[in-house]
Amino acid sequence: MKPRLAFLCLGNSCRSIMAEAMARHFYGGEVEAVSAGFSPLGWVAPETITVLTELAIPTAGLSSKGLAAVDLGACQAVVNFTHYDLGQRLPADFRGRIFRRRIADPFGLDLDHYRRTRDAIQELLARELSYWLRD
């Protein structure tokens, strides 16, 4: 069974969705990736789809959802892109690792900001994925 990794951000419309899509695309054989938001918007920003498509990263099936929609208890690691504390939001059975990695939220900004966020997430995945999933 592949280790499960969750990415969290505020609206689950930009950063965490990008991380989920990129982890699936580049590391799908090694990890199961999911994402959620503290206050989900309920839709994925069109700019997010645009910048993922620029790298030929599949976007079908991506959706904005809240923490309750994801089984965080089944995750080996959770990567929080926000300043929010997970605190009581994690289930009692959560035994994984928590990582906070601040990445700028591009929501409402131009495509160049979305591209910079995408590139920062891609670099972060390449640098830290194996660290996040270490036993």
What distance in Å separates the CA atoms of residue 112 and residue 124, rounded to the nearest whole number?
A: 18
pLDDT tens digit sequence for 117-134:
999 999 999 999 888 877
**CATH number for position 70:** 3.40.50.2300
The range of the structural domain enclosing residue 57 comes to 4-132
pLDDT tens digit sequence for 20-69:
999 999 998 899 999 999 999 999 999 999 999 999 999 999 999 999 99
pTM confidence score: 0.95
What distance in Å separates the CA atoms of residue 29 and residue 79, rounded to the nearest whole number?
A: 19
Overall number of domains in the chain? 1
Q: Which two tokens stand for residue 52?
A: 């993922």
Residue 26 CA: distances (Å) to CA of 40, 73, 80, 135: 25, 24, 20, 21
Q: What angle do CA 120, 107, 102 make, to 5 degrees?
A: 40
